[in-house]
Amino acid sequence: MPAIPANVRGAVITGWGTALPEKVLTNHDLEQMVDTSDEWITERTGIKQRHVGGSTVGLSVQSGRAALEMSGVDPASIDALVLSTTTPDRCVPASSAAVQHELGLRCGAFDVNAACSGFVYALVQAHGMIAMGAKKVLVIGTDTLARITDWTDRNTAILFADGSGAVVLEAVEGPGQLLSWDLDADGSAEKYLYSDIGSTIHMDGKEVFRRAVRIMVDSATKSMNHAGVTADDVALVVPHQANVRIIQSACDKLGIPMERASTVLHRTGNTSSASIPLALADALNNGRIQRGDLVLLVGFGAGMTAASAILRWGGGTDAAVLA
């Protein structure tokens, strides 16, 4: 992807929020449903439990409202809503329309579907709208994969779950947070991970694993190169939360120690579009990101897609939110 032109209007994240359904499904619960064990799931994936239930609109409204409250932005002043989801509540209209209404927004709203890479796709799209004049954009990543998971298939039932994460992006004077980005897709690999309309997820786990590591590393490397930074400069990597062994393997190849990765999958499972904003919010809430830190977001998913971005947290030193 070409470098970001100089002097475009930049943006920073000024609020974030998350939502997880109340119902928790532990590995021990899964032992009662399919032929598996807590030990196997923990060792092979890093997942201990996941949240299931709720709708894409309902979870998005919860996380979006929390992000708006934290930023202090008047919902009526939001210029656009971008909702990343691969599990909309209806085929038509987009789930973002109902979310826009329930949050009291008065702006355009649309869904983005790039599977588990979708939140980064949506965030890049939102920065593009800010470069073109928008001042405030709400970006939400939500998935309700429990609805398209075959709970009798141990191959997939151990992985997928529901959740939502949101951020408010505001235009700034001076340099914004986005230093570089990369979006990739390879439609020839769609056969390894898909769900037909009205059906459940089909997955070739081994092939997805193999490709996931490669495309995450490729995308992250492109973003680091575009930003002119190295792995040593990255304070925190916020990866897609699919399998801790994928994260470990990608970090090893990138030369980033696991201590510098944010992981929440042990308690959330794979929440697709929600996984990166959930892991980002967790890191922020635990004080793991400070102003000026370089944060690498990197995801991969069905498509197969990959996406990454380098953020300088808080933007440049003279970044002040535009009124």
Answer for which of 59, 66, 158, 289 binds ligand COA (CB under 6 A) is: 158
Give the nearer residue to ligand COA in terms of CB position, either 123 or 242. Answer: 242
Helices (H), 103-232: 118-131, 154-157, 205-227
User: Cα dist. 72→10, 76, 111, 136, 320 in Å?
Assistant: 19, 12, 24, 12, 15
- The DSSP secondary-structure symbol of 189 reads G
> Bridge partners of 137?
80, 169
Residue 195 binds ligand COA, judged by CB under 6 A: no
Residue nearest to ligand COA (CB): 205
Give the nearer residue to ligand COA in terms of CB position, either 105 or 216. Answer: 216
Is the distance from CB of 88 to CB of 115 less than 8 angstroms?
no
Catalytic residue IDs: 116, 240, 270
Give the nearer residue to ligand COA in terms of CB position, either 105 or 159. Answer: 159
User: Cα dist. 223→235, 241, 311, 321 in Å?
Assistant: 15, 19, 10, 25
State the minimum distance, in angstroms, from the CB of residue 274 to ligand COA.
12
Residue 194 binds ligand COA, judged by CB under 6 A: no
From CA 260, how far away is CA 251, in angstroms rounded?
9
Residues 2-31 as x/- pattern, contact with ligand COA by CB under 6 A: ------------------------------
Residue 87 binds ligand COA, judged by CB under 6 A: no
Tokens describing residue 117: 């890479």
Is the distance from CB of 63 to CB of 138 less than 8 angstroms?
no
Answer for which of 209, 225, 248, 288 binds ligand COA (CB under 6 A) is: 209
Cα-trace Rg, the chain: 18
The end-to-end CA distance of the chain, in Å, is 31
Answer for which of 27, 125, 270, 305 binds ligand COA (CB under 6 A) is: 270
Give the nearer residue to ligand COA in terms of CB position, either 89 or 143. Answer: 143
Give the binding-site size for ligand COA (rule: CB under 6 A): 20
Q: Which residues contact 249 (CB under 8 A, 6 or more apart)?
A: 213
Residues 98-137 as x/- pattern, contact with ligand COA by CB under 6 A: ------------------x---------------------
Kindly list the residues in this chain that would bind ligand COA in the complex (CB under 6 A): 36, 40, 44-45, 116, 154-155, 158-159, 193, 203, 205-206, 208-209, 212, 242-243, 270, 301
